[in-house]
A and B are shown apart, each in its own frame.
Chain A
Amino acid sequence: MNIKKIFVVMTIMVFVFAMTGLAVAKDTLVVNTYTSDPAPRKAMQELVVQYEELNPEVDVELNITAHEDFKKAIRVWLSSDNPPDVFSWFAGNRAEYFVDKGLIMDISDVWESENFYEKFPKAFQSISVFDGKAYFLPHNYYWWSVFYRESIFAEYGLEEPQTWEELLTLGETLKENGITPFAIGTKFRWTAAAWFDYLNLRINGHDFHMKLMHGEIPFTDERVADVFKKWKYLIENDFFVEDAAAYSWQEGLQFLSRGDAAMYLMGQFILDATSEEVSNDLNFFRFPIIDASVPVAEDLPTDGFMVPAKAPHPELAKDFIAFLGSVEGQRIFGEDLGRLVTNKDMSADIYDATTNKGRTMIEATDKLAQFYDRDMSPELADKTMNSLMEFWHNPANYKQIMEQMESHRQRFID
């Protein structure tokens, strides 16, 4: 009896050791991402499970870190000798920065073998390929637009405004009925930067905007003053909620949820952050056209993945990158998150009605930008966004603000 028991225990132990041995023998792929909000977190986890099912011999270790912390940690990881194999990152200036420092692995062979040059729309090559080599895998993107409460528009018989004048008239009607036209929370500043982006894109066009973002045009340019004048009009005429600087962008949503404000200039992810009741009532329209002769451009921040130059498992990492670029590797982000994905072979059926509307809007767009602090060097963006906040507090001072922004630019180019 006793001997039998010992035998059973020993057999179990042998099995346990064998199993651990197996687990160790499996290859481990380390993937670090910043998909920390509940919905993207779930999507990323599901994506990894999907990959593991397709590749049973690979074990994926997924580490999810909050956005801001991720941005700090990535620098430590990249300069260490043991970086992750794959990490999520932002297209634009932020990706180029690491590429320039030689910290990113060339993944041109994956682009070549998977034919990403054909499978992704051409616009994505400009943010992924540097000096003829591909370093970035654009995975998903979202659009910016003016989101609004359909029920409020219906109540007062309002139509989606197409032009600046229509927007102003619409705003007056809302104000007469005690509703603030725009909700916003500028505590973390980038929501205000979106307004600068859009006014500049609509007034001065994409080429000017990108040159300004890259620090090639002085902020004291008369054309920048036009942006501030339009913006000043909105602020001085109570188009925005009071004390906007007291709220984060999510706290700013309360005005929209309560119906105290009707619109919010925001990215598609606004739909993840509102209650179902409110998000069902949200619709959107393209930021109104100010000058019809200016080609239409939109902010379209793109998220993707990169492989560190010192990645311990480059082959596995590239295989995972190939998967992320495939239709299968993008489906969950399109289906569950409502993000637009980069692979053109993806059928449009997976998107819900809102996302499809966004897709149609983007297809009719001439030029694309990333976003204020993704197109601009992060440091210059940080300093100039402070100036934007100062402008918001005291719009009449815009001339001084422009000089202040210019002095930051001067220091930046030195």
Chain B
Amino acid sequence: MKRKFVPWMFLLLPLILYTIWVIAPTIYTFYLSFTEWDGLTSPQFIGLENYKYLFDDPTFYKSLINNLKWLIIFLAFPVVVGLFLAMLLSQDIKWARGFKASIYSPMILAPVVIGLIWSWIYQPQGGLLNNTLTYIGLKSLTRGWLSNPETALYAVIGAAVWRHTGYVMLLFLAGLTSISPTVIEASKIDGASAWQRFRFIILPLLKPTTVIVIVITMIQSLRAFDFVSMMTRGGPFNSTNVLAFYMYSEAFRNYNMGYGAAIAVILFLIMFVFIALYLRQIRKGELE
């Protein structure tokens, strides 16, 4: 009896706060998604109208596709490059610590700051990127990176990749240290080549880390908001819009709170799949 009572005492305060600040607003958002609300008067219940409108809204699909592109690029680049860097820097290389620190350093900057820096890099006139291209004789490649609807999304994702790679590297580095050196030692004695060692020893042992990295990367790319808001505000004409930003602009710029809530619900459902995967993996780790 007493045993069960004590942990609840400890949990009570965080649980109350969590209910007020997270669970209740989430449920309220679900409710709002069935209403029409301008944020001033009281919400009007309109059933599934918002969702009907949503599935007929080209901007919604555009944003969803942009989120998917973001996801694919995020899985391809930061994860692979991060793993490569982690492998490289876990070796005995001169200055390894310095490299680690510098690759990780974008992570400690606020995304807003990174967005601002990259906006300058992408400036069509006098920006670092266009100036460099001109200098090395590739003037034909220069363009308004953020103003051209063909390149804008990739330019924004580029800035996000820059930040995310260091994070992935750090997670893999942590994963690598947990691999017992004796296993590596044994594989060397057995005459495995470097590639074989990586493919058949290290990679399987890194599996828990890899799963977590992939899930975090997925969540990161679905909740993308800050870079878009900072660099393009979803423009030019929605070519860089993503679900989180579309939700924000519908709810807080056009005051369609109900419609914004409906977008949030859809985003939540998509994310929920990945979050459930993540939690499952974590629980598995705990059981082991």
Contact = CB atoms under 8 A, between A and B. Distances in A.
Name B's interface SS.
loop
A75 B257 CA distance: 12
Interface string A222-260: 000000000000000000001111100000001000000
A390 B236 contact: yes
A337 B260 CA distance: 39
Contacts of A355: none
Contacts of A81: none
A302 interface: no
A75 B149 contact: no
B237 A387 contact: yes
Contacts of B238: 386
Contacts of A393: 149, 236-237
A243 B235 contact: no
Contact of B40 (A101, A188, A382, A387): A101
A384 B49 CA distance: 22
A78 B255 CA distance: 14
A379 interface: yes
A245 B144 contact: yes
Contacts of A242: 124, 144
B135 to A, nearest CB: 19
Contacts of B252: 72
A243 B145 CA distance: 9
A79 B255 CA distance: 14
Contacts of A341: none
Given A187-B235, A382-B254, A389-B236, A243 B147 contact: yes
Contact of A75 (B40, B143, B144, B256): B40
How many chain B residues sit at the interface, stated as a range, is 20 to 34
Contact of A246 (B146, B249, B255, B256): B146
| Chain A binding surface SS class | helix
B253 interface: yes
A355 to B, nearest CB: 32
A103 interface: yes
Interface in A275-327: none
Contact of B41 (A101, A382, A387, A390): A101
Contacts of A382: 249, 253-254
Contacts of B145: 246
B259 to A, nearest CB: 10
A77 B144 CA distance: 40
Given A78-B40, A79-B40, A103-B40, A246 B144 contact: yes
Given A187-B235, A189-B235, A382-B253, A243 B40 contact: no
Interface string A97-121: 0000101000000000000000000
A327 B63 CA distance: 51
A245 B235 contact: yes
Nearest to B142: A243
A32 to B, nearest CB: 17
A189 B249 CA distance: 15
Nearest to B124: A243
> For B39, B41, B237, B238, which residue has the most chain A Cβ atoms within 10 angstroms?
B237
A179 to B, nearest CB: 15
22 contacts: A72-B252, A101-B40, A187-B235, A242-B124, A242-B144, A243-B125, A243-B143, A243-B144, A244-B147, A245-B144, A245-B147, A245-B236, A246-B123, A246-B124, A246-B144, A246-B145, A379-B255, A382-B249, A386-B238, A389-B237, A390-B236, A393-B236
Interface of A: 72, 75-76, 78-79, 101, 103, 187-189, 242-246, 254, 378-379, 382, 386-387, 389-390, 393
Given A246-B124, A389-B236, 8 more contacts: A187-B147, A187-B235, A242-B144, A245-B146, A246-B123, A379-B256, A389-B235, A393-B236
* Pairs A-B, 3 closest by C-beta atoms: A243-B144, A245-B147, A246-B147
